[in-house]
Amino acid sequence: MASFPPRRKPSRKGSMADVPKDLLEQIKELERLFTVDQAKLKEVTDHFVTELEKGLSVEGGSIPMNPTWVMGYPDGYETGTFLALDMGGTNLRVCEVILPEEKGEFEIIQSKYRMPEELKTGDSEELWEYIADCLQQFIEYHHEVEDLEQMDTKLPLGFTFSFPATQEFIDNGILQRWTKGFDIAGVEGQDVAPLFEAAIEKRKLPIKLGALINDTTGTLIASHYTDDTMQIGCIFGTGCNAAYMENCGSVPKIAHYNLPPDMPMAINCEYGAFDNEHVVLPRTPYDVVIDEDSPRPGQQSFEKMIAGLYLGELFRLALLDLHDNKCKIFENQDIGSLRKAYSLDASFLSFIEEDPFENLSETAELFSKELGIKANKPELELCRRLAELIGTRAARLSACGVAAICKKKNIQSCHVGADGSVFNKYPHFKARGAQALREILDWPKGKPDPIDIRAAEDGSGVGAALIAALTIKRVKAGNLAGIRNTEGMI
């Protein structure tokens, strides 16, 4: 009997041999539009450093650089039981985090509760009542107490409120604007902490709000807790952001607090707003359309070029332009589905980039099933290349923010904790970002990367609990800067 060699794994080298000349010319034009070379990466990074510094100044800039009043890292020896509340766009997550005596260890139990759609545009009081109900259910279930008022001590809580907020204290947060589909009247411009605390008090729940945080700050703190070489926390998901530890003396806009210059303060950059002035980012015509058609034109310029929310839309706009104005791809086909704004998300591009077959059969099936388009082989090759270009540009530009923080702080070597759907799930995002860092910072070849972006710890759960623990630790030490209400913390 004849024996056959082991079957080869499907390979995907990418062949342009059968692509007609007009499509090849369009592919070259797309490459010109979306490729960010080393010189441009360095130019973007240098401007980024300037804008980070401007955000810390009294005058401010496009990047908010919000002081968080998280003053220092955990040392790994924090102990106790803490609650964490994570309020996102889809779910409400309640966690109980136990910090044992072992350095850098934690135990976590958690429950998720669906955020009802009607609450997102309903009444403010109804929202906080629902959140309090979920907390009550969680405590009653996990602590098996019939009368919550009989619990000996209040559980400190870290509240991850992932909406743009200004903080004058660690336990307050003035909502700047709702995002993620929320639009509840009368809350923007208000401090959300008293609204939350009133609902807690109404039910006599044994909870003390210790800190209100952003998920990116939580990512920084949680990651440093388990790996003390972590110096930056990042989110690359639906949006993008970073947090790092700054010296108070390097933040002119908080000079009036007269804090010790060498005291650390975590800064929540909110750097999706980088280059709102359109000075340096290599925007394509498709980026311009996304910005102009967005609810807030001229804002979040950096985010609109690299975040998961926009990658599918960039891809859709480019294909539409090719069909309508350039080379007539998908000729004589109904492309009605492709004309719907935001009908494609980042997972569509991920799927194309992960297609392992030379004939792109899985991509063809995707177009047929999702868009009702029967694409031929050359069209599939173009779509594959376009997805690669958009995904690669996002990863390379994302490295500029990390490199800028490292240059500003003169960080030569560290780990960077990253979270978010794009970082965790988009193919090759980590490798492409790492390559861009090498190009920006001119690292020698053949040696390990001194700055390594790796998966972060749970920022909105463990991070929130740790920040509540750090706040209590500060109160005990008499460092009350940026803490509004210390009652019940000791």
Query: What letter represents residue 172's amino acid?
Result: N
Q: How many Å apart are CA 220 and CA 458, to the nearest integer?
A: 10
pLDDT in tens, 370-410: 999 999 999 999 999 999 999 999 999 999 999 999 999 99
Residue 404 contacts residue 451 (beta carbons within 8 Å):
no
Q: What was the pLDDT predicted at 8?
A: 43
Q: What was the pLDDT predicted at 4?
A: 40
Contacts of 400 (CB under 8 A, 6+ apart): 41, 44, 45, 48, 436, 440
Residue 463 contacts residue 106 (beta carbons within 8 Å):
no
Specify the DSSP class assigned to residue 6: P
Pairing of strands 155-161, 165-166: unpaired
Q: What mean pLDDT comes out for the span 355-368?
A: 96
Residue 389 contacts residue 305 (beta carbons within 8 Å):
no
- The shares of helix, strand and coil residues in the chain, as percent rounded to the nearest 5, are 45, 15, 40
pLDDT in tens, 121-143: 899 999 999 999 999 999 988 88
Residue 24 contacts residue 378 (beta carbons within 8 Å):
no
Q: How many Å apart are CA 306 and CA 139, to the nearest integer?
A: 39
Please compute Rg for the chain using Cα positions.
25
Task: Look at 115-119, 224-228, 279-283, 325-329 and tell me which has the smallest mean pLDDT.
Answer: 325-329
Q: Which two tokens stand for residue 57?
A: 């100044």
Residue 421 contacts residue 455 (beta carbons within 8 Å):
no
Q: How many Å apart are CA 353 and CA 364, to the nearest integer?
A: 13
Specify the DSSP class assigned to residue 461: I
Q: Indicate if the alpha-carbon torsion angle 363, 368, 370, 375 is positive or negative.
A: positive
Q: What mean pLDDT comes out for the span 148-166?
A: 82
> For the residues of 32-44, what is the DSSP string, one character each?
HHH---HHHHHHH
Q: Which two tokens stand for residue 78?
A: 């924090």
Of 227 and 459, more confident: 227
Q: Which of 98, 176, 183 is nearest to 465 (CA)?
A: 98
Which residues does residue 415 pair with via DSSP β-bridges, in sequence order?
Answer: 230, 452
Of 323 and 20, more confident: 323
Mapping DSSP onto H, E and C, the string for 410-452 reads: CCCCEEEEEECHHHHHCCCHHHHHHHHHHHHHCCCCCCCCCEE
Residue 464 contacts residue 166 (beta carbons within 8 Å):
no
Q: What was the pLDDT predicted at 147?
A: 55
Q: What was the pLDDT predicted at 14?
A: 53
Does residue 115 sit in helix, strand or coil? coil
Q: How many Å apart are CA 151 and CA 117, to the nearest integer?
A: 33
Q: What was the pLDDT predicted at 155?
A: 92
Which helix (H) or strand (E) segment is 453 a member of?
A: strand 451-455
Binned at pLDDT 50, 70 and 90, residue 55 comes out as very high
Active site residues: 162, 177, 215
Q: How many Å apart are CA 360 and CA 377, to the nearest integer?
A: 8
Q: What was the pLDDT predicted at 129?
A: 96
Pairing of strands 174-175, 165-166: antiparallel
Q: What was the pLDDT predicted at 2?
A: 43
> For the residues of 83-101, what is the DSSP string, one character each?
EEEEE-SSEEEEEEEEE-S
Of 162 and 240, more confident: 240
The sheet with strand 264-268 has its strands ordered as 66-67, 264-268, 240-247, 230-236, 414-419, 451-455
Alpha helices in 14-96 (DSSP H): 21-34, 38-56
Q: Which two tokens stand for residue 337?
A: 């589905």
Residue 481 contacts residue 259 (beta carbons within 8 Å):
yes
26: left (phi over 0), alpha (psi -120 to 50) or beta: alpha
